[in-house]
Structure 1
Amino acid sequence: MSTTRLLLLGVVRIFQPAYGYQLRRELITWDVQHWANINPGSIYTGLRTLAKHGFLEELEEGAGRKPGRTSYKLTADGESEYFTLLRKALWSVDGFRPDQMQAALSFLWSLRRDEVVAALESRVVQLEQRMKAEPFSERQIVEDPSTPDHVVEMFRISAARDKGELEWTQAFHTRVTEGAYSFAGEPPTWQPAPGTFPYWNVIPDPPD
């Protein structure tokens, strides 16, 4: 749920005010239905839920409530919640929820470089600690007579993810400290090609 909330708040923050159908289409181009396990049809429900909780403001088009004709922008509470979720995803390692870091990567540019560097250093330490403890956790599983022998492979696949993430985090940290990418308060290093986003000026009818 926190990953979904971060993605919805983050994409609204980029394009606000934006219509639900636009936001849904944008998130689908990020393939969130695959790596974040978000059903595209639930995006509208998620936006309405965030509005109900005071994180988004709904801006109606006309007097009616046509599907896809409500636009959204972040409230002050939504802005605060966005940064809370982003920092939680960046600073915390959860081997069973790799989607959290995937979502954080989508919005790291809204943090300053020094915080990103510090968070990556913290993630390296957390991952190293997890890997140091893994042999003992594996031994406990293997030696427990009440645990089926195949269960250890579930642990080993998680350990393999930790190893791969540690290698990536160390390399990513090096790239960021050497000046790669742009972050809050810095001149952008990337600009969309002219004409990339012309469809944001056209509000299509939502699908049937």
Structure 2
Amino acid sequence: MSTTRLMLLGVVRIFQPAYGYQLRRELLSWNVQQWANINPGSVYTGLRTLAKHGFLEELEEGEGHKPGRTSYRLTADGETEYFSLLRHALWTVDGFQPGQMQAALSFLWSLGRDEVIAALESRIVQLEQHEKAAPFNERQIENDPGTPTHVVEMLRISAARDRGELEWTRGFRDRVRAGAYAFAGEPQDWIPSPEAAEQWRSLPPA
């Protein structure tokens, strides 16, 4: 799953039609270079590549033969690809690609609340399975004299991330269940009832 592709399609979808400079500036404000491994200088190249593959439409502006700024908007295929990538990132746990879920978080509002809750439930099950398997996998690797030490530590850091994400996911699921945030199909000015708002604000982290 391409986190970069999801981020570019998602941010175009928010602002379309949008200019490359506008999109680059927006992504930088999200600090994507730190957690999504997106090089700010590659944003323009990424946009052109998505347009080449039919996921974005390039809109040229300008008078006569004078070149103008190029803006972008999603094509029908781009819309399909966006939701496919978003759902893959949300429903699939990959301990070696933590940026996938962070990318999904940027656009969860475009999915319905029920789907988000179901996906979080699925992630909890996957993470619980990882947690149960981690000690066995670690012992197997440690007992193999041919295993490089850095591989052992890679397994340990992945298991630690899974444990932390499991705790967060349980808490996030409970907050969404209790009425936190707004999702697709809910009014743009949606706010939870005072009772629901108090409930999710008072929930423990997990």
Q: Same fold by TM (over 0.5)? A: yes
**Aligned residue number for residue 50 of structure 1:** 50
Mean CA deviation greater in 107-116 or 1-10: 1-10
Q: Give the residue type in structure 2 aligned to 1:162.
A: D
CA RMSD of aligned residues (A): 1.5
**Aligned residue number for residue 110 of structure 2:** 110
Offset from partner CA, 1:23-77 (integer Å, 9 cap, x none): 11100000011111111010000000000000000000124445xx100000000
SS of 1:38's equivalent? coil
Instruction: Note if 1:4 corresponds to 2:4.
Output: yes
Cα distance in 2 for residues equivalent to 1:131 and 1:165: 11
**Aligned residue number for residue 154 of structure 1:** 154
Compute the displacement of 1:169 (Å). Answer: 0.2
Cα distance in 2 for residues equivalent to 1:115 and 1:97: 22
Q: What runs of 5+ residues in structure 2 fail to find an aligned partner?
A: 192-206
**Aligned residue number for residue 131 of structure 1:** 131
SS of 1:73's equivalent? strand
Q: Give the residue type in structure 2 aligned to 1:129.
A: Q
Same amino acid, percent of matched pairs: 79
Q: What runs of 5+ residues in structure 1 fail to find an aligned partner?
A: 192-208
- Equivalenced residue count is 189
Task: Return the structure number with greater relative CO, CA threshold 8 A, min gap 6.
Answer: 1
- Is the CA contact 1:181–1:189 (under 8 Å) kept in the aligned structure 2? no
**Aligned residue number for residue 202 of structure 1:** none
Offset from partner CA, 1:85-126 (integer Å, 9 cap, x none): 000000000000000000000000000000000000000000
Cα distance in 2 for residues equivalent to 1:165 and 1:77: 32
Mean CA deviation greater in 180-189 or 74-83: 180-189
Cα distance change on mapping 1:150 and 1:7 into 2, 3 Å: closer
**Aligned residue number for residue 73 of structure 2:** 73
Cα distance in 1 for residues equivalent to 2:149 and 2:44: 44
**Aligned residue number for residue 194 of structure 1:** none
Mean CA deviation greater in 100-109 or 153-162: 153-162
Cα distance in 2 for residues equivalent to 1:126 and 1:189: 34
TM-score normalised by the chain length of structure 1: 0.87
Cα distance in 2 for residues equivalent to 1:31 and 1:44: 17
Cα distance in 1 for residues equivalent to 2:40 and 2:23: 10
TM-score normalised by the chain length of structure 2: 0.88
Compute the displacement of 1:8 (Å). Answer: 0.3
Cα distance change on mapping 1:189 and 1:174 into 2, 3 Å: farther
Compute the displacement of 1:188 (Å). Answer: 3.0
SS of 1:186's equivalent? coil
Instruction: Note if 1:172 corresponds to 2:139.
Output: no
